Amino acid sequence: MSVNGQAKKKPVSVVDYSYVRKYTGPIKAVICDWAGTTIDYGSRAPIIAFLALFKSHDIDVTEVQAREPMGTEKSVHIRRMLAMPAISDKWQKIKGRPATEEDVQTLYKEFLPLQLASIRNCGDLIPGWLETVDDLRGQGIKLGANTGYNTEMFAQVAEVARNAGYEADANVCATEVSQGRPYPYMAQAVMEKLGVLEAQACIKVDDTETGIEEGLNAGMWTVAVALSGNANGLSHEQWSALLADAQAAVAEKSRRQMALSGAHYVIDSVADLPAVIADINAKLAAGVQP
């Protein structure tokens, strides 16, 4: 109250208005997942390893069960599989007790050589990725990557990718941050390595729902790939062998599944990425934010 008993007016410029700062420049960085996004069509390598891991303990798991936690750090993946009622019941029946955290760590150690072997056997780049890389680098766009693999697994992936002609400008593994996906820390760490300031100038590309959630939590544009990754689950050879009607049915299911991830865009594979970047650049120039 003022001295004369009248209410003191609030400064209009401070209270009644807010100002929004918008990034209107072009995309500066694309951050991709590895398996199922830029390499290993159908994201087969992790699945082959998980199936073999549980089979070695006389536990048969389905691909659907093995794929459900995809995108997470691999010990988290194992922990979530063991928590599934169908798998935990089998474990209890065979082992005579519930799975423990010690079991998770033991399985993780057993998983490592299986994963390294399957990475070597599933090392083809996604068709069209090298052409997309040339297009993006021609625009001055930096290429980052992150992964649910640990550093040893990633070293194998990186070697296979280099032999095929691709190397990311920066990479971060789930074991290098305090929390993996869906937390945004891996994507943010890649931004730091690339020297990119604005999250709005970055695109996160992934074939899993948790990878898309990571990008959204980081404030980035997000692009989900439907056919080359986890939602499809078929190798390129298996996919190519399908008849047209079967391909159409699988494609519709995969696109619908990835649309539910909340991604800004859903594409079939990274071969379709340049058109998406052009559209995002137009939106950014018009002031649209992710």
CA distances from 47 to 188, 199, 275, 286 (A): 27, 32, 31, 42
Indicate whether 5 pLDDT > 60: no
Q: Which domain holds residue 264?
A: 29-43+125-279
Tens-digit pLDDT profile for residues 211-241 = 999 999 999 999 999 999 999 999 999 999 9
Instruction: Reply yes or no on whether 109 is catalytic.
Output: no
- The per-residue pLDDT of the chain, averaged, comes to 94
Instruction: Tell me the three state secondary structure of residue 210.
Output: helix
Residue 201 in this model has a pLDDT that exceeds 70: yes
Confidence band of 4 (pLDDT split at 50, 70, 90): low
pLDDT bucket at 269, cuts 50 / 70 / 90: very high
User: Residue 245, annotated ligand binder?
Assistant: no
Considering 8, 16, 22, 74, which one is annotated as catalytic? 74
What CATH code is carried by the domain that includes residue 173?
3.40.50.1000
- Is residue 275 domain-shared with residue 262, that is, in the same domain? yes
- In the prediction, which pLDDT does 19 show? 81
Give the separation between CA 219 and CA 59, rounded to whole angstroms.
40
Q: Tally the domains of the chain.
A: 2
Final residue in a domain of this structure, among 122, 139, 171? 122
Average pLDDT of 32-52? 96
Query: Catalytic site residue 74?
Result: yes
Once rounded to an integer, what is the mean pLDDT over residues 200-206? Answer: 99
Q: What percentage of the chain has pLDDT greater than the value 70?
A: 95
Question: Do residue 270 and residue 175 come from a single domain?
Answer: yes
pLDDT level of residue 289 (50, 70, 90 thresholds): very high
Domain boundary (95, 122, 149) is at 122
Whether residue 89 is annotated as binding a ligand: the answer is no
Active-site annotation holder among 28, 33, 40, 204: 33
CB 24 within 8 A of CB 285: yes
Does 207 belong to an annotated binding site? yes
pLDDT at 1: 47
In this prediction, residue 11 has a pLDDT band, given cuts at 50, 70 and 90, of low
Separation CA 122–CA 157 (nearest Å): 9
Query: Which pLDDT tens digit goes with each residue over 175-184?
Result: 999 999 999 9
Residue 6 is predicted with a pLDDT of 58
Rounded to two decimals, what is the model's pTM?
Answer: 0.88
Quick check: 202 pLDDT over 70?
yes
In a domain, 4, yes or no: no
First CA to last CA across the chain, in angstroms? 44
**Are residues 173 and 256 part of one domain?**
yes
